[in-house]
């Protein structure tokens, strides 16, 4: 069930009114209802994968209890490893089995050997990477004494499967979301309005910006003879597409959850306004970046110790992050490129110099900020070529073709110009609202009622008139 579908437009209002009107002031009934609604939401993709979701939930729920009740340190560690390894094995089988079999066969062929092991027709369950990481963080937080395990099966199951974040995040922490599930929730009109605004903005970014950018990006990446300027524009369009698509999904998820009384983790903080790659990764897919930081980078030693260890740990988390995205060398190359891009700031210990918002409190940035933002955007766009390419050969061919006819004018039509206008509008709004949780929040109570509503209606009209062809959210495949 897509957030930008008619089915969801029917599903969510029903859930909203039953949740707040029929089950008002009954937290237990609300949680049971949300759990059932979440399983229904997920089952609309493929009901068979509900069993996998349930198994993962059971493993981490009982694993967390066992870790907590173990009387010895070795017992706690044993149960923690069992829960973590079994869940990673499930994830590895569905996501990486065919990749490793293919690479093993390629390795044997180097020595003139063949293998009788064959790849399998495995369907990747939607959202498996996300709900697996929800469960793993829960067990690891219990092991590290950051949280006590819940004995309420419904509450924990809802934490793992809450439908706004189930299939593409953000990757929540039990320390943040479970207390909200366990407490009474009160309907607040202001939160509902704020949630609706964020949903509206997320829909605009997805169906107007991302889906239209996808058409041009697909044309550039899907083969054929293209000028270098067209390929550059194709890479830029994909750079805009993946941001509009994923941050749009996150906006809808956060807005939907807020309307139900929950505050999810902010997943994007206007990353394309970053002044270096280190800042970019503090602002892009924040829940995943912070997950790898807390559960992989810090346990490896983080930045403690020698510079060589810091460099090693940085490369590990970026390469693992790339591989998390998919079983393809292109994702590993994408992660490696970002590690290389961030190295100068790591070595010079400048990776935390841009912690504030660019041009904070100012309408316009300085020339220095514009230059740094432009360079960071260009580096990110270059790395996205590997992320979008079908394989490494495709990525290198795409890059090698860019110098050809680079100075020729790329192909434009009316729809392309409208798309450019729409993503420029998106950037203008997000620039104005960059000190808020999301761009459209800038048009809040401080603005005149007429101005606010005129802008909201304009966005709605743009969604109706300029919606691109319906496309699945990119991060559903991860």
Catalytic residues: 325
Rounded Cα distance, 252 and 168, in Å:
11
The SS3 of residue 142 is: helix
Rounded Cα distance, 31 and 17, in Å:
14
- Return the exposure string of 314-339: e unless at least 16 CB atoms fall within 10 Å of the residue's CB, then b: bbbbbbebbbbbbbbbbbbbbbbbbb
Tell me how many degrees the CA angle 438-158-257 measures, rounded to the nearest 5.
20
The two three-digit tokens of residue 53, written as one number: 């979701």
Rounded Cα distance, 358 and 164, in Å:
30
Q: Give how far Cα 38 sits from Cα of 28, 133, 252, 295, 326, Å.
A: 15, 17, 16, 27, 25
Residue 100's CB is within 10 A of a number of other CB atoms, namely 13
| H/E stretch holding 417 | helix 414-432
Question: 186: left (phi > 0), else alpha (psi -120 to 50), else beta?
Answer: beta
Sign of CA dihedral 184, 186, 192, 198: negative
The two three-digit tokens of residue 443, written as one number: 């048009």
The two three-digit tokens of residue 73, written as one number: 């340190």
Question: Dihedral angle at the C-alpha atoms of 396, 401, 407, 410, nearest 10 degrees?
Answer: -100
The two three-digit tokens of residue 288, written as one number: 């995943």
* CA atoms within 13 Å, Cβ hemisphere of 28: 2
On whether the CB atoms of residues 295 and 136 are closer than 8 A, the answer is yes
């Amino acid at each position: 069930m897509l957030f930008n579908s008619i089915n969801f437009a029917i599903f969510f209002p029903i859930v909203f009114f039953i949740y707040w009107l029929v089950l008002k002031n009954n937290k237990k009934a609300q949680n049971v209802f949300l759990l059932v609604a979440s399983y229904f939401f997920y089952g609309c993709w493929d009901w068979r994968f509900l069993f996998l979701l349930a198994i993962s939930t059971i493993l981490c729920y009982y694993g967390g209890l066992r870790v907590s009740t173990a009387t010895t340190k070795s017992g706690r560690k044993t149960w923690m490893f069992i829960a973590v390894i079994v869940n990673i094995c499930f994830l590895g089988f569905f996501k990486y089995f065919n990749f490793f079999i293919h690479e093993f066969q390629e390795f044997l062929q180097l020595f003139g050997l063949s293998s009788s092991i064959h790849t399998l027709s495995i369907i990747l369950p939607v959202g498996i990477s996300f709900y697996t990481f929800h469960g793993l963080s829960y067990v690891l937080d219990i092991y590290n004494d950051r949280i006590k395990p819940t004995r309420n099966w419904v509450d924990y199951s809802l934490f793992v499967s809450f439908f706004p974040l189930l299939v593409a995040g953000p990757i929540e922490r039990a320390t943040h979301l479970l207390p909200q599930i366990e407490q009474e929730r009160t309907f607040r009109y202001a939160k509902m309005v704020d949630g609706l605004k964020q949903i509206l903005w997320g829909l605009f970014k997805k169906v107007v910006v991302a889906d239209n950018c996808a058409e041009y990006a697909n044309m550039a990446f899907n083969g054929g003879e293209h000028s270098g300027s067209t390929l550059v524009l194709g890479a830029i369009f994909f750079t805009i597409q993946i941001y509009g698509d994923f941050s749009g999904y996150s906006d809808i998820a956060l807005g939907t959850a807020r309307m139900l009384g929950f505050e999810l983790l902010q997943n994007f903080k206007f990353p394309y306004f970053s002044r270096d790659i280190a800042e970019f990764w503090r602002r892009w897919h924040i829940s995943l970046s912070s997950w790898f930081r807390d559960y992989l980078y810090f346990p490896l030693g983080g930045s403690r110790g020698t510079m060589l260890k810091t460099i090693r740990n940085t490369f590990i988390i970026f390469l693992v992050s790339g591989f998390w995205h998919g079983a393809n060398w292109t994702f590993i190359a994408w992660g490696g490129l970002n590690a290389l891009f961030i190295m100068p700031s790591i070595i010079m210990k400048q990776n935390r110099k841009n912690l504030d918002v660019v041009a904070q409190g100012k309408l316009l940035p300085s020339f220095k900020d514009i230059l740094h933002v432009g360079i960071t955007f260009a580096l990110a766009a270059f790395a996205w070529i590997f992320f979008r390419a079908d394989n490494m050969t495709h990525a290198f061919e795409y890059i090698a073709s860019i110098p050809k006819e680079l100075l020729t004018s790329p192909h434009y039509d009316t729809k392309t110009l409208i798309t450019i206008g729409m993503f420029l509008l998106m950037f203008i709004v997000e620039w104005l609202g960059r000190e808020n949780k999301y761009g459209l929040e800038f048009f809040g109570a401080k603005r005149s009622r007429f101005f606010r509503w005129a802008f909201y209606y304009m966005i709605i009209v743009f969604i109706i008139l300029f919606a691109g062809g319906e496309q699945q959210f990119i991060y559903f495949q991860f």
